[in-house]
Structure 1
Amino acid sequence: MPQLLITGANRGIGLALTELYLASGWDVVACCRDPSQADDLLYLISDNPGLEVYQLDVTDYDGLADLAQELSDRPIDLLINNAGYYGPNAVLLGDIPVEEWRKVLEINTIAPLKVTEAFLPQLRAAKGTVACISSSMGSIEDNQSGGSYLYRSSKAALNAVTKSLALDLAADGITAVVIHPGWVRTDMGGPHGLIDANVSAQGIQSCLAQLTPQDSGKFFDYHGRHLAW
């Protein structure tokens, strides 16, 4: 069976993607910070023998190395770096909270690269795909409203990281892309999102299923459309 490893799998888009790939016959390694609090994810185990749930804080790099070692014999066909953090709302210019900015960058930019690094042998073994969940708010060209300094900068940086991964891993047969999941009604996206997590997940899965090596390094939305950097 093809193998998916996904972070932030306990709720929202991550949970919806986990359910969708399980229903499509994939084995799924689902990671989240606190499985004891992930009731909806744990509920899936009884009906899905291909699901394994692991504790992982993506900023705990020692723990990440331990998990990668534990799964060292597991080829990974698809890594979805989904875990993310928006940061505080209503941050105004002139009062940027530096420690929170560092936290947003750590989770949204540094951690996806470190996760990818940790699982490179498994990705190489499968000639797999790395999909980083970004946002249209990381598009510099599309920024028409300003603000959101913490989140925008972290996702723009994630886009740059993923572009470099695409170039550096091309010789290994690994594809790397970033995907805007839409404005989704989740804890992060809020109640006014335009779509629910299932619609987003279905679009992301369809987009990823249609990728070719020539798509590596590109920025897509959940409809599979190219977005401007």
Structure 2
Amino acid sequence: MPTILISGANRGIGLELARQFALGGWTVIGTARHPEAATDLAALPSTTVLPLEATEPESLAALGASLDGQPIDVLIANAGIAINLAASAAEVTRQDFLKVVRTNTFAPLALAGVLKPNLLAGERKLAFAMSSLMSSITANDWGTQYTYRASKTGLNAVWTALTREWRPLGIACGLLRPGMVATEMTNFNGIAVETSVSGMKQVVENFTMADAGRIIGYDGTDVPW
């Protein structure tokens, strides 16, 4: 069975990703900041729960050590946050801005770096991060969401660089767009999480090196840069 690692898999999109891949016959490694509380995740078949706070170097190192020698076919760096999306420019604080960028931009790259040996040992060699339509400069026609937009646009930039660095190694990197999904982050407004994840799962399963560097939505369409 192929193996997938999903960060932030204890709730929302991450939990549904874990559920659909587990029920689809995959071996799932799901991470959570508090694994003892991730009871729904732990109850899934063929699923292991590991602790991770991806913004902390010690936690990343511990994850890497616990997975030493474990092949991983697919990484989905899913964990992310949003703070005060409706804030005006004057209301955005340095603390909030740096926290969101640290979690949404730096942490996925750091996680990918730690798991590089595992991906090289896997057969499928796919590395994904979770982007957003909010990352698109072209599509930004209504403003606000300053910190979230910056974090996801930055993520697109670093993942594009990672795509070019890892392509010669045989690792294909891509970005996923889940859409506006009815989860806690969106106050449960948007499409059903099952619909979004079903679409993204299909993208992951069909992804090849020819797709490396794309931002692909749950509906199969590309997100404009």
TM-score normalized by the length of structure 1: 0.95
1:137 and 2:134 matched: yes
Instruction: Tell me how far apart the structure 2 counterparts of residues 88 and 146 of structure 1 sit (CA, whole Å).
Output: 14
Q: Say which of 208, 216, 223 aligns to 1:220.
A: 216
Determine the structure 2 residue equivalent to 1:39. Answer: 39
Q: Deviations over 1:108-167 (max 9, x none)?
A: 000000000000011111251111111000011111101110000000000111111111
1:115 and 2:143 matched: no
Determine the structure 2 residue equivalent to 1:168. Answer: 165
Structure 2 portions without partners, runs of 5+: none
How many angstroms does 1:87 deviate by?
Answer: 1.1
Question: Which one-letter code corresponds to 2:27 in the other structure?
Answer: D
SS in 2 for 1:94: helix
Question: Which one-letter code corresponds to 1:152 in the other structure?
Answer: R
Determine the structure 2 residue equivalent to 1:54. Answer: 50
How many angstroms does 1:37 deviate by?
Answer: 2.1
How many angstroms does 1:88 deviate by?
Answer: 2.1
How many angstroms does 1:72 deviate by?
Answer: 1.2
8 Å contact from structure 1 (residues 185, 192) kept in 2: yes
1:106 and 2:69 matched: no
Question: Which one-letter code corresponds to 1:211 in the other structure?
Answer: F
8 Å contact from structure 1 (residues 184, 190) kept in 2: no
Pairing of 1:5-154 with structure 2 (within 5 A): 5-44=5-44, 48=45, 50-126=46-122, 127-154=124-151
SS in 1 for 2:91: coil
SS in 1 for 2:184: coil
Instruction: Tell me how far apart the structure 1 counterparts of residues 149 and 14 of structure 2 sit (CA, whole Å).
Output: 20
8 Å contact from structure 2 (residues 42, 48) kept in 1: no
8 Å contact from structure 2 (residues 4, 76) kept in 1: yes
Instruction: Tell me how far apart the structure 2 counterparts of residues 20 and 227 of structure 1 sit (CA, whole Å).
Output: 24
Instruction: Tell me how far apart the structure 2 counterparts of residues 175 and 224 of structure 1 sit (CA, whole Å).
Output: 17
Question: Which one-letter code corresponds to 1:189 in the other structure?
Answer: T
Instruction: Tell me how far apart the structure 2 counterparts of residues 109 and 20 of structure 1 sit (CA, whole Å).
Output: 26
8 Å contact from structure 2 (residues 132, 178) kept in 1: yes
Moved over 4 A (4+): none
8 Å contact from structure 2 (residues 30, 47) kept in 1: yes
TM-score normalized by the length of structure 2: 0.96
Instruction: Tell me how far apart the structure 1 counterparts of residues 169 and 220 of structure 2 sit (CA, whole Å).
Output: 24
How many angstroms does 1:36 deviate by?
Answer: 2.1
Identical amino acids, percent of aligned pairs = 37
Structure 1 portions without partners, runs of 5+: none
Question: Which one-letter code corresponds to 2:174 in the other structure?
Answer: V
SS in 2 for 1:74: coil
8 Å contact from structure 1 (residues 59, 107) kept in 2: yes
Instruction: Tell me how far apart the structure 2 counterparts of residues 93 and 225 of structure 1 sit (CA, whole Å).
Output: 31
Q: Deviations over 1:85-124 (max 9, x none)?
A: 0112431112221101100000000000000000001111
Instruction: Tell me how far apart the structure 2 counterparts of residues 7 and 192 of structure 1 sit (CA, whole Å).
Output: 23
Instruction: Tell me how far apart the structure 2 counterparts of residues 181 and 91 of structure 1 sit (CA, whole Å).
Output: 23
Determine the structure 2 residue equivalent to 1:192. Answer: 189
Instruction: Tell me whether 122-131 or 145-154 shows the greater mean CA deviation.
Output: 122-131
How many angstroms does 1:189 deviate by?
Answer: 2.0
